[in-house]
Amino acid sequence: MGPSERSIPAAIALFFTAPLVAVFFLGNLSRSALPGLLALAPMYGAGALIIRELMRRYGRGWTGIFLLGAACAIFEEGFVTQSLFNPASLAPHLHHFDRTWIPVLHISLRRTLFVFNLHTFWSIAVSVALVEALMPAHAKTPWLNRTGDWLACFVFAAGCVLAGVYTVRHSSFVASPLQFLLAGLLCLALTVFAFRAAPVRPIRAVGPAPIPWFTGAVAFLLGATVLMMSHDRSWEAAALIIAVDTVFFIIVSSLSRRGHWTALHTLSLAAGGVFALGLHALIAHPPLGEEGLLVRLASLTFLAGVVPAVLAAVRRTSRFLNNPRQPLYR
């Protein structure tokens, strides 16, 4: 890969975008906590960057990104922070009121589904799609050389160690051997499936695709549904989240093979998802006191910052697609 095909700015942008979307867009932190982005980026940002680089280097596309993203979610939340298994992560004693609590595995199915959606779709896939749309000329090629890949792996490992040490110091909880075993096996299986996913090929399927505005609206509605159901502690909510995820993947896998599907459609899915997350942060938790108002203001600021970023991505991607010398890939 020649230097002209690399994009260090894109790699740096993804490094900070992933933790910003995964943590700050949830609406739980105020702007005063923004320096914490530097502490979160090594694990969440470097993890997203490694996944993107591996799947683009080996040509596995979005299927591989989703599968490897799910594996990364299990590793980070199951082994590093152990939040998948720790009842305290739901707030003290809250798991007793969660109908989807599975005692044998010591997990909340509803929260586990939400964590998978948050990391796999929002933190990783949405962040990758947004940054690639801002750098469309480098969207399908690796951004780093081999040295950069190893550096990203080192940063990710260091971030996981720091997060793990912080978890141990602030919590006495330790997951059971069965939980670690099942998490490890599932993580391994998802990783294998990611690398065995079919390589990306030029679009050849016949048939029209909806306009990007429509696919963006669908992504917004589906994302908003998942976010709303994440607060409902019932089996019905968990089933609805699974149904929404299934519908999303069926729609995307079907439409993205059609000849009229472009990078603008992919961007629209990411934009719909990030706007759903941003608006959810504004309405999910009513502000209480001065700190609540600061959190709300931070959420509004983050959401306002997304608008020009998405508009810039639309302009850059549109100009790139209008260049007839560039082939269109899904």
Percent above pLDDT 70 for the chain? 86
Give the pLDDT score at 3: 44
Top pLDDT among 137 and 219 is at: 219
Domain ranges of the chain: 3-321
Lowest-confidence region among 8-17, 181-190, 194-203: 194-203
Tell me the one-letter amino acid at 220.
F
Per-residue confidence at 327, pLDDT binned at 50, 70, 90? Answer: very low
Find the mean pLDDT for residues 116-137: 94
What confidence tens digit (pLDDT) does each residue in 57-89 have? 988 888 899 999 999 999 999 999 998 888 776
| Model confidence at 325: pLDDT above 60 | no
Lowest-confidence region among 3-7, 159-163, 283-287, 317-321: 3-7
Per-residue confidence at 150, pLDDT binned at 50, 70, 90? Answer: very high
Instruction: Check if the beta carbon of residue 60 is closer than 8 Å to that of residue 199.
Output: yes
Per-residue confidence at 328, pLDDT binned at 50, 70, 90? Answer: very low
Give the pLDDT score at 56: 92
| Model confidence at 329: pLDDT above 80 | no
Tell me the CA end-to-end span of the chain in Å, nearest whole number.
21
What confidence tens digit (pLDDT) does each residue in 215-235 have? 999 999 999 999 999 888 889
What confidence tens digit (pLDDT) does each residue in 246-279 have? 999 988 888 888 878 899 999 999 999 999 998 8
| Model confidence at 320: pLDDT above 80 | yes
Per-residue confidence at 140, pLDDT binned at 50, 70, 90? Answer: confident
| Model confidence at 296: pLDDT above 90 | no
| Model confidence at 188: pLDDT above 90 | yes
| Model confidence at 205: pLDDT above 70 | no
Residues 6+ away with beta carbon under 8 Å from 250:
none
The full 3-state SS of the chain, as one line of letters, equals CCHHHCCHHHHHHHHHHHHHHHCHHHCCCCHHHHHHHHHHHHHHHHHHHHHHHHHHHCCCHHHHHHHHHHHHHHHHHHHHCCCCCCHHHHCCCHHHHCCCEECCCCEEHHHHHHHHHHHHHHHHHHHHHHHHHHCHHHCCCCCCCHHHHHHHHHHHHHHHHHHHHHHHHHCCCCCCHHHHHHHHHHHHHHHHHHHCCCCCCCCCECCCCCCHHHHHHHHHHHHHHHHHHCCCCCHHHHHHHHHHHHHHHHHHHHHCCECCCCHHHHHHHHHHHHHHHHHHHHHCCCCCHHHHHHHHHHHHHHHHHHHHHHHHHHHHHHHHHCCCCCCCCC
Instruction: Check if the beta carbon of residue 96 is closer than 8 Å to that of residue 190.
Output: no
Per-residue confidence at 113, pLDDT binned at 50, 70, 90? Answer: very high
Residue 120 to residue 128: CA distance in whole angstroms: 11
Q: What is the pTM of this model?
A: 0.89
Give the pLDDT score at 247: 93
What is the rounded (10 degree) CA torsion for 316, 17, 118, 141? 60
Find the mean pLDDT for residues 101-116: 88
Q: Which of 3, 281, 246, 276 is nearest to 144 (CA)?
A: 3
Average confidence score pLDDT of the chain? 85
What is the rounded (10 degree) CA torsion for 140, 141, 142, 143? -90
Residues 6+ away with beta carbon under 8 Å from 93:
87
Instruction: Check if the beta carbon of residue 6 is closer than 8 Å to that of residue 142.
Output: yes
